[in-house]
Structure 1
Amino acid sequence: MLFRATLLAGAAGAVLAATPAQAAEAEATAAADAQPTAAGTGAGDRQDEILVTARRRQETAQDIPLAISVIGGEHIDNTGSFNVGRLQQLTPTLQYYSSNPRNTAVNIRGIGAPFGLTNDGIEQGVGIYVDDVYYSRIASATFDFLDVAQIEVLRGPQGTLYGKNTTAGAINITTNQPTFDFEGKAEISVGNLNFKQAKAAVSGPLSETLAARIAVSATSRRGTIYNVTTDKWIQSQDNLGLRGQLLWQPTETLSVTLSGDYSTQDAVCCGSVYVRTGTTQRPLNRQFAALAAAQGYAPVSLKPFDRLTDLDANLNAGNKIGGAALRVKWDVGPGTLTSITAWRFWNWKPENDRDFTGLPIVTKSQNPSTQDQYTQELRYNYSGKAIDFVVGAFAFYQKIKTQGTEQHGPASSRWTLNPSSALANDPTVLDGLVAYNDQSLSNTSLALFGQLSWKVTDRFTVQPGVRLNYDKKKGYYNRAVFDGQGNPVLFNDPVTGRPLTDPVIDARVIAQRGVFAPQLVRPTFSDWNFSYDLTLSYQVTPAVLLYATYAKTFKSGGINQNGVPADNNGNPILAAGTVKPESVDHYEAGIKAQFLDRKAILNLSVFRTDIKNYQANVNNGQYGVLRGYLANAGAVRTQGVEADFSIRPSERFNLYANGAYTDATYRKFVDAPCAPELSGGASSPANCDISGERLPGVSKWSFSFGAEGNVPATLFGKEGQVYLGYDGSYRSNFSSNPSPSDYTWIDGYSLSNFRVGFRTDSGFDIFGWVRNAFDQNYFEQLMVGPGNTGLIVGLPGDPRTWGATVKVAF
């Protein structure tokens, strides 16, 4: 309560102090006047200068010594990139993976968050900001963008300018702001797979000093995978979003914006399809083919792009997110003071089928979670003739609670236990075995940060930055296990508290503990760290900028919120309860050039990031003993080259091409989990050395490219333009398992999207579109089934979709 009161007091104080202000133009007016449609790298870009706020002040994208991609709201709409998942098709260095909203990872240049099951006890390496508010839960990346003006994807560490320390980069989303001129827009799209999407926004004055804006978005679509067991299409979309904003602007030097938003998802999600099986080190009678034959089971289809599944457990992905924010911007003397106070919540109610089959093995898997987040950021920006600087303070508090249930069914004994054991033929051993998981996390982060730009000469600028950070995490994990008759499954005698030894334990209990092991741990972590960076930039000509950056930064240490490994007596290995901070050394150099009378842009950057104590996700093959936990890999390195090119020779044509080569590998990870082909046998290694192997989810080569042309035309009695647009992307192959496996490499693929339409300068736009036009079969993710049986399942990417969109603005 004290922390909340401090936040509210800070915001109120900023408002009261700001009232007598006299100075520059309000932020809302600037945002309304400058709404770029792309970053000089998108086919929808129809503006000469791309304005960004990456350095917490308004500048052109070509003037800042930073690798950045900017995608405007128009280009987002035209390409159907309505969430971060689709945004990766426009930004080659962005990687997005999601088996469900909670188990989502967003990485830049191959780093950011461990690949696999999400663990709440660590930070994200890629920060997501919406109107300066930090979104701590990566689940927010799965929601539809709502009334977006532009999105900036910043590559590399961003700790000295942003509230939360982010070691891989940041996604900075700016929404359209309230205006004092009445305006509105509406958009309706329909397509195959029963796709329907509607968006609307209206803005205008309520008085001479008060303006409001409200926006709504709704999306629905039939699923892309048919479940023969439930006779339902899964992987559907059912999203609703609302955003409201009030702008109070009593003087030209003061603006106060109060905003609130609420979004919900209620999809039939999330499932998978059978892809293949691969031989593991398990005895043959304990691998998938033999286990399935023993119960007369066969997957509904052995062809994954038949898009058929037979999952028998309930599937649900109920997801709600929202919050409120108060932003105060006051021009004080030569600079600007900004205060952002925000509260956000996230509610997650999932149901999954964790055995990935149509057999009642795991009959229930659900870990509903709730989060409340409070943030307060204060910044002061100054711009002068020789010196610009930003100084700020950031406070963050997060509370997460999870109460989950996992349960096994009548098919589990024959599937899970050794077939040579008599217990395998007794379904009652594991039928009804249930684990109740009670988890909580409190997370506090405080920081001071700042960055200075010293213009040594008209051309040469030195830009140092610093950050002091304090983090504290306190966790709780309690798993209670009961058999099908309601008896507790224990490691210790409930009367004496002494450990139970195998000779006095019923064999059934031993088997049950091998599936769900009771555990109680209370991990904690706290630490200070100091980060700094230095950027040197040189303006060779007005159209050519050179820059070089070094950054020393840290990703906060974490705690294991999903349980920890245990010894043979069931005692948790407490040393595994925490993971060390990542230590990051980042090097980058680049050139930004404009030529052909600024009609063409070419930006190049080379980078290398070395990480010690990389926070890796470690998975084992058991059903429920411990699905995954965090551990520190010795060292990781990502390095590569990026290029962004765009050209607009005339108002009738533009073209862009962006590419990245990324070499991201484990430099030292000698005790990693083994790939499935090396796991499961009595003599299999406990760990494997995967040093030198590629990080999961990273393609060495990735590209995005497109073009748009138009000709004058008259349609419906209106003068305008007929246009044809194309956007394509390519990714080379990548590993879909934390430890690379022969069974989980995803082949490279290319996607092509087309659109053709008619638009007028007055805001009318009608166009038809087709996405994945050549119906490319590809996987977004492959997953290893539990138990080392050799089962591999996958998430197919969307098939070809098509439809039409009508947009009007007034």
Structure 2
Amino acid sequence: MKAGLRLSACAFAMAAISSAPIYAQSATGENTGSAQAEQRASVFDDNIIVVTAQGRTQALSDVPIAVSAVGAEQLEKSGATDIRELNQLAPSLLVSSTGNEANGSARIRGIGTVGDNPGLESSVAVFIDGVYRSRSGNALSELGPIDRVEILRGPQGTLGGRNSSAGMINIATAQPEFTFSGHAAATYGNYDQIRLEGGVNAPLSENIAARIDGVFLKRDGFYNDVVNDTDVNNKDRYLVRGQLLIEPSETLSVRLIGDYSKKDESCCAATFVQPEFAPLARVSPGLDGFTRPQPGAPALTDPANPIIPVLLALGQNPNALNQSTFNRDIYITPGRSYAGETEDYGVSAEINAELGNINLTSITAYREYSNFQASDTDYTGVDILYREPNRNAGAREFKTFTQELRLQGSLFDDKLDWLIGGFYANEKLEVRDNLRFGTQYGAFAPCRVVNAVNPALASPTSTGCLSAGGRAALLAANGGAGAFGPATPLIFAGLDNLAQINDRGGTGDIYNQKSENFAFFTHNIFHVTDKLDLTVGLRYTNETKDFDATFGNDNTMCPTQRALFTPLLGGPLNALAAGIIGLSCQGNSTSELDGVSLSDSRNENEFTGTAILSYKPTENLMLYGSYSRGYKAGGFNLDRSALTKSTLVNPAVAGDTANLQFDQETVDAFEIGAKYSTREFSLSVAAFRQQFDSFQLNTFNGSVFLVQNINSCSDDLGGADRDTDGTTGACNPDNVKYGVVAQGLEMEASLNPIRDLNVTMGLTYTDTSYENNLVGRDTGTPLDPALRLLPGDNLSNAPELTATASLSYTPPIGNSGMSGLFYINARTTGDYNTGSDLLFGKEQDGYTLVNARIGLRGPDGRWSIEGWAQNLFDVDYTQVAFNTPFVASQQTYSAFLAEPRTYGITVRGRF
């Protein structure tokens, strides 16, 4: 279904007076990942941003690519302290997090990496001070003082740094200066928020300057865990960053950076989805969950839904089922926890040197990142699935070394600006997991089978979910032949076996992946005439990934059940036998894997590049057209559930990684645009079309995570990609083509009518959709049935229409030297589906968020006091709705909620 195009009256009012963030970009039109580009990069001169990159200085109107940039002052006014809060300032950007903030997702133009699987690289690459961060979720933490954030839209596959298929976020932190200065800020807000920030900058000599900055943040969680008397989704984090800037001569500079940050927080709880959030998601018992529901059907958590009485009988607090989706009381299993810990630290060195007429840039960095996250993984009060709070709980560790070298200069009387370079990355990733069935799984799982037979017979407090009377009724059915014929006693045995699967499962799964990436690139600007430029870039990338995994598991009942019920497969009791095996071995949780090791390797070679033609008919106007090709590496699904496509197959016997692998994603992008800029007004317009081959999609189907490439077939598959049969819908490999298209129009503007007033606006229309006749890999394999709603529909988390606006007014107060501050921004988003499988119960209506800040500032900005509010009108919306684990087939959904209204007061001082 196409997302709605509704805009609220509030958003229209804001759009009438405002426009989008201030913009800047590199001189070449692409991010180089260079700290040299960031040094003294933003110069605000009469409201025109001048950016210096690779030795070239250009104004916004001279750069032929779509990029948004936000300066330090606007970041401070907006209250943005991590990349998620940039949503309010850039309409084409959406940053969200779900079950684990360590793998938060950034999307640009509706395209991004979906889910929490660390095996998938980010579609939107994040660089901080020219250093690549392994996943975009790494930047979901305090960033400290920032000079500028650049958001590059569209594939970035030519210049330095990591490849990215959707875009790039480049963050430049405040660097040392040769003047003594300091700053401090203290904030107190609701949810007992305390945030302290401070730093000192000092020249150590004529050639050396040092800077140190620190941030501390503590805030209560906005979920109230009623059962365990604690709060969840709290904040408890800090950051320390130290820098040295060494300039021994005018032709040489060295910038050294070391930083350490830590988070000790509980994340991420969820609530049940109720009809007030997804009124179209209500379904009658027995209806296919993929079928649009009928009016008058019961609510998602209504007792008429047969799984709800089971949950209640096993101890689920009824309040959790009756309260609003956005009531932030949660009722989880006693003793379970969402506790987690994240550490992120690293060092980098950037060297910039002039070697005659050639400029050399070298950026060397080493970083380590680790995270573990416990969870009550079923999100209910029944102990069905969990991760213990230790360093094996959904843990991931990255150790990354990167090296970038660039040489740049000019030839032919400055008619050619040339650049050549190389990039190397060595990344070691370890994932550890201890996902286990809970202590009540044995009581819950048999009820799934009994509900499928006759919900009236379900007795959750009886062994196998059948009372003595229920068993007698089934034995007496069919004139005494038994409800299942001679197999009736076997079915009882299977249910009783299921009842024994309590606190069983993973005892320590370990995945190791080593990735080596090297690339060579060139990027050249030909000044054909004084008004016409041709930019040509080319990049060769080689990517190698070595994978190994070792599994630990104590679920001995899985092989027992498989041996008992495999003989029934293919016969009249096939569905029942498959269901019992599936519930016994869910997610490939089986002792057959205990001690099993697997290893494999994959190698990729890709050419990417860009070609841009730009023309300036007047000094203030530029027109351009471009083609670019981007790439995101393939890899391995670091999840044991993906070892086999069916739990009917023994994963230890399958013994290979074929089902774990997914192919590289490539994109061909076309863009035309125009930029107009004067001191008082700037306007940027871009139209784009992006075609993705082997699009990487990660989907949770209620039981396991699926990672599948998405392509399409030029032949008509006759609806075979929309059915429940995973064996139909194949395509001749010669007829496979791109499966995802993102196309649309972007407009950004800035108005500065007087010195103290700035108005901005951004508007993005994006039609991001799957093609019809979808298949999986480029070999033409059928689409997984869990994705059968995808053909012809929008992508998840990709609203068609998004608008942002801001107004900043800083009037002087008399002749005192003081000034006032009035700042407001808004983001309006159209309707969209938050679920990657596009189930109807996961749709989010359009909404508008407003942030505001008002304050008083002293002479020369030496001090200020500010009152602020984020999500001023306390709008309720979700980040992602998902299938509640193990009960999703009963049409029960849960949701990760976005933050409610927060407000507080901030005091700043600087010298």
TM-score (norm 2): 0.78
Equivalent position to 2:404, from 374, 377, 383: 377
What whole-Å deviation, never above 9, does each CA across 1:324-371 have from its counterpart, x for those lacking one? 001111011223101111000011011012101011111336211211
Partner of 1:393: 422
Q: For the Cα contact (< 8 Å) 1:448–1:467, is it kept in 2?
A: yes
SS at match of 2:308: helix
Find the counterpart in structure 2 of residue 539 from structure 1.
Answer: 616
Residue in structure 2 matched with residue 527 of structure 1 by the alignment = 604
User: Secondary structure of 1:85's partner?
Assistant: helix
The 2-side partners of 1:726 and 1:569 are apart by: 57
Say yes or no: does 1:110 pair with 2:110.
yes
Q: 1:669 to 1:268 in 2, by over 3 A?
A: farther
Q: CA separation of 1:756/1:661 partners in 2, compared to 1, >3 Å: closer, same or farther? A: same
Query: For residues 667-678 of structure 1, what are the structure 2 equivalents within 5 Å?
Result: 667-668=771-772, 670=774
Structure 1: tracts of 5 or more residues without a match: 1-26, 38-45, 494-498, 674-678
- Quote the residue 1:784 is aligned against: 883
Matching of residue 570 in structure 1 with residue 650 in structure 2: yes
Q: In the aligned structure 2, how far is the partner of 1:797 from the partner of 1:57?
A: 42
Task: Specify which of 631, 638, 659 is matched with residue 554 of structure 1.
Answer: 631
The CA deviation string for residues 230-250 of structure 1, in whole angstroms up to 9 with x for no partner, is 111211111100111111111
The structure showing larger relative contact order (alpha-carbon pairs under 8 Å, at least 6 residues apart) is 2
Deviations for 1:298-347, whole angstroms, at most 9, x for unmatched residues? Answer: 24352122211112221123111110001111011223101111000011
Quick check: 1:455 aligned with 2:527? yes
Which range is displaced more, 788-797 or 694-703?
Answer: 788-797
Alignment CA distance shift 1:112-1:28 (3 Å): closer
Aligned-residue sequence identity (percent) comes to 27
Indicate the larger mover: 47-56 or 402-411: 47-56
Stretch of structure 1 that moved more, 257-266 or 631-640: 631-640
Render the CA deviation track for 1:689-733: whole Å, top value 9, x for unaligned. 621111111111111101122322159xx5221121111111111
CA distance in 2, matches of 1:444, 1:31: 27
Instruction: Map 1:344-743 onto structure 2 (within 5 A).
Output: 344-364=367-387, 366-383=393-410, 385-417=414-446, 418-420=448-450, 422=492, 424=495, 429-435=500-506, 436-483=508-555, 490=559, 502=566, 512-514=584-586, 516-517=589-590, 518-519=592-593, 520-563=597-640, 564-566=642-644, 567=646, 568-571=648-651, 572=654, 574-595=657-678, 598-622=679-703, 626-634=704-712, 635-668=739-772, 670=774, 688=788, 690-713=790-813, 718-743=816-841
Q: 1:28 to 1:503 in 2, by over 3 A?
A: closer
> Take 2:550 and 2:46, find their aligned partners in 1: how far apart are those partners?
56
Residue of structure 2 in register with 1:805 after alignment:
906
Amino acid across the alignment from 1:660: T
1:20 aligns with: none
Whole-angstrom distance in 1 between the partners of 2:399 and 2:243: 21
- Asked if 1 retains the 8 angstrom alpha-carbon contact of 2:35 and 2:172, the reply is no
Distance in 1 of aligned mates of 2:818 and 2:785: 68
SS of the aligned residue for 2:216 comes to: strand
User: Structure 1 residues 152, 47: CA separation in 2 closer, same or farther (over 3 Å shift)?
Assistant: farther
Q: After the TM superposition, which of the residue ranges 27-36 and 211-220 deviates more from structure 2?
A: 27-36
1:308 maps to which residue?
329
The residue that corresponds to 1:676 in the other structure is none
Higher deviation after alignment, 136-145 or 245-254: 136-145
Contact kept in structure 2, 1:524 and 1:578, CA below 8 Å: no
The Cα of 1:104 is off from its aligned counterpart by 1.4
Please report how far the alpha carbon of residue 28 of structure 1 lies from its aligned counterpart in structure 2 after TM superposition. Answer: 8.5
Deviation at 1:103, TM superposition (A): 3.5
In the TM superposition, what whole-angstrom CA distance separates every residue of 1:169-200 from its partner, at most 9, and x where no partner exists?
11111111111111121111111111111111
Q: Does 1:794 align with 2:895?
A: yes
In the alignment, the residues of structure 1 paired with residue 860 and residue 638 of structure 2 have an alpha-carbon distance, to the nearest angstrom, of: 54
Q: Distance in 1 between matches of 2:56 and 2:443?
A: 63
Any idea what the Cα deviations from partners look like across 1:489-523, whole Å, max 9, x if unmatched? 55999xxxxx9984699999885324524555434
The root-mean-square deviation of aligned C-alpha atoms, in Å, is: 2.9
Cα distance in 2 for residues equivalent to 1:492 and 1:450: 59
Whichever residue aligns with residue 588 of structure 1, its letter is E
For residue 685 of structure 1, report the CA deviation from its aligned partner.
5.7
The separation in 2 between residues aligned to 1:612 and 1:730, in whole angstroms, is 30
Q: Secondary structure, in 3 states, of the residue corresponding to 2:749?
A: strand
Structure 2 portions without partners, runs of 5+: 1-33, 275-280, 289-302, 451-463, 465-491, 570-576, 713-738, 778-782
For 1:576, what is the secondary structure of its paired residue?
coil
SS in 2 for 1:442: strand
Structure with the larger helix share:
2
Question: Which position in structure 1 is the counterpart of 2:717?
Answer: none
Contact 2:157 2:628 in 1 (8 A): no
**Kept in 2: contact 1:562–1:629 (CA 8 A):** no
1:6 aligned partner:
none
Q: Distance in 2 between matches of 1:314 and 1:54?
A: 48
> Partner letter of residue 789 of structure 1?
Q
Query: In 2 relative to 1, CA 281–446 (structure 1 residues): closer, same or farther, beyond 3 Å?
Result: farther
Count how many residue pairs are aligned between Structure 1 and Structure 2: 750
Aligned residue for 2:138, secondary structure, equals helix
Tell me which moved more, 395-404 or 276-285.
276-285
Return the alpha-carbon distance in structure 2 between the equivalents of residues 685 and 251 of structure 1: 64
Change (3 A) 1:117 1:177: closer
Give the counterpart letter for 1:61 in structure 2: L
* Distance change >3 Å, CA 511–CA 132, structure 1 → 2: closer
User: The residue matched to 1:458 in structure 2 has which SS?
Assistant: coil
The one-letter code matched in structure 2 to 1:302 is: Q
Separation in structure 2 between the aligned mates of residue 610 and residue 34 of structure 1, nearest angstrom? 33
Query: Taking structure 1 as reference, are residues 203 and 524 closer, same or farther at Cα in structure 2, changes over 3 Å only?
Result: same
Q: Which has the larger radius of gyration?
A: 2
Correspondence for 1:318: 341
The 3 A distance-change label for structure 1 pair 403 and 488 is farther
1:76 matches 2:83: no
Indicate yes or no: 2:305 matched with 1:292.
no
TM-score, normalised by the number of residues in structure 1: 0.87
User: Partners of 2:36 and 2:776 in 1: how far apart?
Assistant: 53
Contact 2:382 2:440 in 1 (8 A): yes
Contact 1:210–1:249 (8 Å) recurs in 2: yes
Q: Give the partner amino acid of 1:331.
A: E
> What is the rounded CA distance, in whole Å, between the counterparts of 1:238 and 1:685 in structure 2?
41
Determine if contact 1:401/1:440 at 8 Å carries over to the other structure.
Answer: yes
Larger fraction in strand: 1
After superposition, the Cα gap between the structure-2 partners of 1:56 and 1:219, relative to the gap in structure 1 and judged at 3 Å, is farther
**1:179 aligns to what?**
177
Report if aligned partners of 1:618, 1:672 keep a CA contact under 8 Å in 2: no
Q: Distance in 2 between matches of 1:162 and 1:112?
A: 21
Counterpart of 2:350 in structure 1: which amino acid?
A: R
On the 8 A contact 1:29/1:179 being kept in 2, the answer is: no
Q: In the aligned structure 2, how far is the partner of 1:28 from the partner of 1:430?
A: 55
- Report if aligned partners of 1:275, 1:302 keep a CA contact under 8 Å in 2: no
